[in-house]
Structure 1
Amino acid sequence: MLELKGKVAFITGGASGIGLGLAKVLAEEVGMKVVIADVQRNRLHEVAEYFQEKDVQVHLMYLDVTDRIAFSDAALEVERTFGTVQVLINNAGVSARGPIEQASLDDWDWHIDVNLRGVINGIHTFLPRMIEHGEGGHIVNTASISAFFAIPTAALYSTTKFAVRGLSESMRVELSKFNIGVSCLCPGAVNTNFLEVGLTRQEKYSNSGFVVDPKVIAKVKEHLEAGFDPLDLARCTLEGMRRNDLWIFPYPEFILALEEKHKLLIDSLNLWRDDPNYAVRMKQRHEKGQGIPKLD
């Protein structure tokens, strides 16, 4: 979508961090009508004060992305306030660090329900409306660098972010016919309040197997503080949306690591070139006029 001014954007996890950076850029610099949805009531109050003196169209609402009924109600509220959503940004996310063998089912459910089902709930709620209004649109799903790399103590987070990556790729293949673009935002370090996400953990997920390690928290905090400013990341995201990039991954410092990772993948495939079954499959494909498999 090249022309965004006057269009409606819906952002989950929009009251702080990456989501708030996106809300500020889209509302103040682009002139979009922006709906900020978040589960942090105190942050919503702070954002309301920030935008109070701004000449922008912003609407704030409390939303737990794990609540499907609330999502449907939110869509109706948005339509009453601003009209149909053209840009959906599924950004809400959580993370708790700890050894995978210590993870409780509540730990797993919290990550899956917010990071993955929260994205699915947003898509299920707004995608049919976007298709019905026929004006096209754009969907941004916030994954992470952890959608490409697994690191110790972040298995639950990576599981969900790998899934968001796969979902985004699948949507990209299927939605172009509706003139709906799809981008997967893959942040590395961003200077945000992400360490506060534990405050949003609902009572139904309260039984955690993880023990908070102050040394780990301090190390993560130091890592985040050296990262992107949320406003700068938001401007990169806007640029990627306008180009309809599949990946919005503005971290060239990881090129070498990704090249090494993908070399391992290619090398593992090459291990099977002399396998008799490979020759049989290729012969059968040739006889059927199929040639080399193509993913299209």
Structure 2
Amino acid sequence: MELTHRDTAFITGGSQGIGLGIARALANQGVRLALADIDGDSLRSAEAELGGKTEVLTVELDVRDREAFQAAAEATERQLGPVSVLVNNAGVGIGVLQTISQEIRYEVWDYVLGVNLEGMNNGVTTFVPRMLERGGPCHIVNTASAAGLVVFPERSSGYTYHASKFAVIGLTEALRRGFADEQREIGASVLIPGMVATNVGSNSLNASPESVLPAEARERLAQLAGVGDYALATYGRDIDSVGEMVVDGIQRDRLYIPTDRLAAAALEARTKDILAAMPSEASSYDDALGQAMRSRSGTA
């Protein structure tokens, strides 16, 4: 998809971290920007920075709120025109800061999956019908994680975070296949960040409700979040280079946009383990299932 000043992008989590890097890269292409974020201060800062490059609308939005998402879409398209690029980037990572016994609580699950997965579906369900009705080239970028490819053996669980990010990759692959099957002019890419210089740990703590992380837990986890953010700042890729990778992925219609090879060795080992666990020979069931799937897709 060619990006021009005629395009409008809606970016969740768009005023800081990876979202801001993507916003900057799109602004360099002349794309109009709607930046949605739960942090009003960062929205004002991003608007002040990017307003000189392109037209910018900011919206305070909790991506879990479906009605608010619809209202944000209407306001965006009323002021900036039809959204042709949707970037579902908002996410939280409080799960990776806790041990598995601390993490397995309904409050944590509902919050992390609510933001990382339900929030993404809210973006898709809000904007895709509009894109389909209008037609024309459009593109969706969903931010997953290297933690959506594999559970790293040397790290703590991150039960909810891994669950949400694995789902984001599957959601995006299915979207892309569905659009292709229906011959729709909508591309779909999944951004797979590894080490990127953001304050995701501290930001996740600050954004989480008291019901998810009570005061005593925040104090205990704040130091761990700071250490993680320091490591990202020291060794991670900068957000602007990630933004340029996303723009290139949109223009080239790439399904996967990994930022580094952090997960490569662990992913290779996981894939080998899965293949090794499969039956050594195909059964009649496998043959019948394969034939049914080929018939459905119209292949011989």
- Is the TM value for this pair above 0.5? yes
1:62-141 equivalences in 2 (<5 Å): 62-96=60-94, 97-103=97-103, 104-141=105-142
Structure 2 match to 1:163? 167
Larger-gyration structure (1/2): 1
Say whether residues 1:232 and 2:231 are aligned partners: no
Say whether residues 1:175 and 2:182 are aligned partners: no
Structure 2 match to 1:42? 41
1:200-211 equivalences in 2 (<5 Å): 200-203=207-210, 205-206=212-213
**Residues 109 and 205 in structure 1, CA contact (< 8 A), matched pair in contact too:** no
Change (3 A) 1:56 1:280: closer
Q: Which runs of 5+ in 2 are unaligned?
A: none
Deviation of the 1:49 alpha carbon: 2.5
SS in 2 for 1:64: coil
Say whether residues 1:194 and 2:210 are aligned partners: no
Q: Which runs of 5+ in 1 are unaligned?
A: none
Cα distance between partner residues in 2 of 1:289 and 1:227: 43
Cα offsets for 1:123-179 (capped at 9, x unmatched): 110000011111130000000001012141311111100111110111011013211
Structure 2 match to 1:255? 264
**Residues 102 and 209 in structure 1, CA contact (< 8 A), matched pair in contact too:** no
The one-letter code matched in structure 2 to 1:33 is R
RMSD, matched Cα: 2.4
Structure 1 match to 2:225? 217
**Residues 37 and 63 in structure 1, CA contact (< 8 A), matched pair in contact too:** yes
SS in 2 for 1:178: coil
Cα distance between partner residues in 1 of 2:85 and 2:290: 42
The one-letter code matched in structure 2 to 1:238 is V
Deviation of the 1:58 alpha carbon: 1.2
SS in 1 for 2:232: helix
**Residues 107 and 209 in structure 1, CA contact (< 8 A), matched pair in contact too:** no
Say whether residues 1:16 and 2:22 are aligned partners: no
Cα distance between partner residues in 1 of 2:224 and 2:84: 40
Deviation of the 1:200 alpha carbon: 1.5
Deviation of the 1:118 alpha carbon: 0.3
Cα distance between partner residues in 2 of 1:295 and 1:158: 32
Aligned residues: 286
SS in 1 for 2:58: strand
**Residues 11 and 89 in structure 1, CA contact (< 8 A), matched pair in contact too:** yes
Deviation of the 1:289 alpha carbon: 9.3
Query: TM-score, normalising length from structure 1?
Result: 0.89
Percent of paired sites with the same residue: 34
Cα offsets for 1:59-78 (capped at 9, x unmatched): 11111101100001001101
Change (3 A) 1:174 1:209: farther
**Residues 37 and 59 in structure 2, CA contact (< 8 A), matched pair in contact too:** yes
Cα distance between partner residues in 1 of 2:222 and 2:58: 34
Cα distance between partner residues in 2 of 1:76 and 1:188: 34
Query: TM-score, normalising length from structure 2?
Result: 0.87
SS in 1 for 2:188: strand
The one-letter code matched in structure 1 to 2:254 is D
Change (3 A) 1:123 1:247: same
Change (3 A) 1:219 1:84: same
Cα offsets for 1:192-239 (capped at 9, x unmatched): 121222212235645599563456334412321110100000101111
Cα distance between partner residues in 2 of 1:80 and 1:184: 28
**Residues 11 and 36 in structure 2, CA contact (< 8 A), matched pair in contact too:** yes
